[in-house]
Structure 1
């Protein structure tokens, strides 16, 4: 059987995680083209991935190379135009989160995808992580009773690119980092969001206060779901100490925790009475297997003509709650959805 040919759009950190999976980790796929606005990065990625060619413009890739699907890991503010162009060209689409910058963009993306009948999957890799899947099963089996409170920690180690600092363009920390928290909470609780109240501030990046007055590096979010469950998200980037992704769900008959700050189950106890553990440094390590599983799932959906488990509606719901939370930060008031 001929392999599914992919075009990678955006050869940064996340893009290369997916691209390496498609080129080296999955037998049914191959990267044939790389697109990145930085020519040097595009060329280096193409060499590593043994791609046929590299481009600085997606339109040129569409004209010059044949492929079946795209993996979009470019900045959020070009997701909409890229997804729409790919769908109109009949390409199946894997798109990293966040889905888009606005709900209007998301709506247009959904209409175009449906019109062209292409597969679409959003990059919420936690849904493919074995720990989160185990937690989902435990909740569904009623082992902790009925969920009543869910708390999620999402902290990134280093500051993303400059465009991220413009909240009007990126939707900020809550979109770029905490989209995963919003989605996984909604998925595990099994309910839509009803209300959000959020507070945020810039504690760690004074150099951005003048140029980007709306920028925030730390956020506290209180939530209520339509089924009555309460929620909290604690977000920070740059956290500087490492990558921290944890969740706790309290039920009427018990509780469960997902994740740990500890990277390995190795503990050093030295002659100075110190207990030393190594913390998680990167999402690429912590969720390595989950990224591979979500990429495999997308490929299987193309091969078997099935709809992905995590689709455009999930991306839209995450954007909706992020926009509402940012409105709450600006107004200082709770926002109902």
Structure 2
């Protein structure tokens, strides 16, 4: 197959990660187009990436018959319309997480991709991280026996943007950071979640409690799986010390730890008798190589006509579990996951 021509839709911080990869690091692909409603973002991205075509309207971009695939990195509210339009134009799609606003939107997008025989990959980059992939191989080999419990956490350092305090829009940490953990647990367990119990609280932004009484910045989630496995997820925003993503898989004969709080594999000993380690500062740094692998895998699955490692169904289940987890938190009870996103 010839080189695949790619269009990046959305040139913000996350979008430019994919843009730089496609422009310089991915075999079998060429970034030929950019689309963004912001003329300033578009101009800056074009100067840096040197692409031939630029568009402020995605519908115009999709009319370009030279484009074989698109990467969608826009606000979630626009994912459905863009992905369905791209599928109808026979463009393969890599869509950043979350896949959509709700499960029905996800189903509509999956159906559009299936109907048009195009690939739909969802951007859960942890599945492409070298350490996470090695852990999955070890789990699948049986080296730690049968998996009985999986724990995963994500702590984000940044102060929430004003819109995030409204959890009807953001879903709080469960949606903002823990969707990665939910996908990680499904991946390592090889099973579907059967129930979720969530508890949480607002510990770092007391000034918004009156206006947003339901806002929470810290959450703990207990999960059970259809096959009896146990799960635990911890999430937090505005931790300030750094970005933190770690997973532990416990088996009947051993365990695996994935991730580290340190930015580098070094410790600094000083004359005052203290040992210091720089903390990981950003997800963009921690998962830099994972994004390259993710983008390469997207191109490879198109060229080889194989199923993406992260499918539309995986994206659908993450959206569903975020909803169930938030429902549990708000209703202060265990919520059963009684449907699997199928009609």
Question: What's the TM-score once normalised by structure 2's chain length?
Answer: 0.93
Q: Secondary structure at the match of 2:255?
A: strand
**Equivalent position of 1:133 in the other structure:** 133
Contact 1:144 1:251 in 2 (8 A): yes
Q: What does 1:108-187 align with in structure 2 at a 5 Å threshold?
A: 108-159=108-159, 161-187=161-187
Stretch of structure 1 that moved more, 29-38 or 310-319: 29-38
Q: Distance in 1 between matches of 2:307 and 2:228?
A: 30
The number of residues matched between the two structures is 337
Q: Secondary structure at the match of 1:232?
A: strand
Q: Distance in 1 between matches of 2:117 and 2:185?
A: 29
**Equivalent position of 1:25 in the other structure:** 25
Q: Distance in 2 between matches of 1:64 and 1:139?
A: 44
Structure 1 residues 203-258: Cα deviation after superposition (integer angstroms, max 9, x where no partner): 22345445544332211111111111111111011221111000112222222111
Stretch of structure 1 that moved more, 99-108 or 151-160: 151-160
Q: How far off its partner does 1:149 sit?
A: 1.8
Moved over 6 A (4+): none
Q: Distance in 1 between matches of 2:214 and 2:75?
A: 19
Q: Secondary structure at the match of 2:94?
A: strand
Q: How far off its partner does 1:50 sit?
A: 0.7
Q: Distance in 1 between matches of 2:213 and 2:43?
A: 36
Q: What does 1:202-217 align with in structure 2 at a 5 Å threshold?
A: 202-217=202-217
User: Are positions 1:311 and 2:311 aligned together?
Assistant: yes
Stretch of structure 1 that moved more, 130-139 or 165-174: 165-174
Q: Distance in 1 between matches of 2:254 and 2:33?
A: 50
Q: Distance in 2 between matches of 1:206 and 1:57?
A: 40
Unaligned runs of 5+ in 1: none
**Equivalent position of 1:260 in the other structure:** 260
CA gap of 1:43–1:206, structure 2 versus 1, over 3 A, is: farther
**Equivalent position of 1:290 in the other structure:** 290
Q: Secondary structure at the match of 1:324?
A: helix
Q: Secondary structure at the match of 1:280?
A: coil
Stretch of structure 1 that moved more, 221-230 or 151-160: 151-160
Unaligned runs of 5+ in 2: 338-343
User: Are positions 1:326 and 2:326 aligned together?
Assistant: yes
CA gap of 1:63–1:136, structure 2 versus 1, over 3 A, is: closer
Contact 1:6 1:69 in 2 (8 A): yes
Q: How far off its partner does 1:162 sit?
A: 4.4
CA gap of 1:239–1:65, structure 2 versus 1, over 3 A, is: farther
Q: Distance in 2 between matches of 1:60 and 1:159?
A: 36
Question: What's the TM-score once normalised by structure 1's chain length?
Answer: 0.94
Q: Distance in 1 between matches of 2:202 and 2:172?
A: 11
Q: How far off its partner does 1:30 sit?
A: 2.0
Q: Secondary structure at the match of 2:194?
A: strand
Q: Distance in 2 between matches of 1:162 and 1:256?
A: 38
**Equivalent position of 1:61 in the other structure:** 61
Q: Distance in 1 between matches of 2:298 and 2:322?
A: 25
CA gap of 1:325–1:51, structure 2 versus 1, over 3 A, is: same
Q: Distance in 2 between matches of 1:73 and 1:164?
A: 18
CA gap of 1:325–1:210, structure 2 versus 1, over 3 A, is: same
